[in-house]
Amino acid sequence: MDWTRVTFKERLTAAKPLEGRHLGWTEGELASAPYARFWNPKMADISADAYRAVANSPMAHELFPPMREAIASVVDAEVQNGYTITPTGAMHVNLSTQMPDVTPEMIDWWFGWHSDSPERYKMWHPQAHVHAQWQEQPPTGTSGRARYVGYASQVDEYLGSGLIRALIQFRRPEELGLVDADVTAGVDATAVCARVGVVDVPVDIGYLAHHIERVPGGSVMRSRFWIGQPYIAARNAKVRAVLPLAKPLLTPTDLDARNMLVHCSQEMTHLASFLPALYEQEH
């Protein structure tokens, strides 16, 4: 198939999981994994903020600045929950999630830990996560930021009913324009930032950032996604030459943005339900 002539969904969405990859844990995995007690396929509903965001979106694109401007003011953004499709063909998604008893340090640890096996990744969203693996294994003996920043995770997951294979290339916050003394210190805040690409095609399609700030009783996570034009770029020269022909076909829709917001609320709310106890056991 000529990938320059298919739609966003057709290019990014696989028809079915690859052989051997599946939702859920097997009986053997449940019996052998030391963290099996944290596997819980019964997930809570999305947050009230996410419900309101879905009801009130799509919103005016002027309320969602481009990435470089938005990430510099992530804490004080005018819209904390909602999404839009811009005239340039991008989806901007904002969501805040309350995470009781979770600390920024726990989030850094989780992002360095969860891609070591598919079972760990599936714990995060039992109803949508299928597989995860490091593109290049981080060095042993490291944890937290040192274990994921500069590395990439290949993930298979459902967004809505479509299965995608995404390449999450973790970056230092400063590379995306997020300069924050608390994030640098890593005690009262942290930020997980990444370039988002496609596993099977050398094309990057956007960016994500999760800013986590300590608050009384836990943390608040402010998640941001910038996907589509003008954030699309090729990862090699051959694809770069034909990418202008494909860009008009890589335009997200309102439904894509809605699915992203709902998925994020589900997985981050679920993560907060078990992360403090998992961290205490495994860290």
Short-list 261, 266, 262, 267, CA closest to 91: 261
Q: Which residues contact 227 (CB under 8 A, 6 or more apart)?
A: 90, 91, 93, 196, 205, 206, 207, 252, 256, 260
Cβ contact 211:74 at 8 Å: yes
How many alpha carbons lie under 13 Å from residue 158 in its C-beta half-sphere?
Answer: 18
The predicted pLDDT at position 200 comes to 86
> Residue 248, Cβ neighbours under 10 Å: how many?
11
The predicted pLDDT at position 3 comes to 43
Give the global pTM: 0.93
Q: What is the mean pLDDT of each run of 10 residues along the chain (283 residues)?
A: 49 71 93 94 95 97 94 92 96 98 97 96 97 95 93 96 94 94 90 95 94 97 95 87 73 93 98 98 91
The predicted pLDDT at position 109 comes to 97
b/e per residue, 11-40, with b = 16+ CB within 10 A? Answer: bbbeeeeeeeeebebeeeeeeebebeebbe
CA angle 167, 206, 195 (to 5 degrees): 50
C-alpha dist (Å) from residue 214 to 73, 106, 139, 189, 234: 17, 11, 28, 6, 37
The predicted pLDDT at position 243 comes to 75
Phi, psi angles (nearest 5°) of residue 93:
-125, 130
C-alpha dist (Å) from residue 150 to 49, 140, 195, 268: 32, 15, 11, 23
* One-letter identity of residue 205: I
Question: What sign for the dihedral angle of Cα 268, 193, 258, 134?
Answer: negative
Domains of the chain: 42-282 (3.30.530.20)
Short-list 124, 125, 129, 174, CA closest to 149: 174
Helix (H) or strand (E) holding 207: strand 203-215
> Residue 237, Cβ neighbours under 10 Å: how many?
8
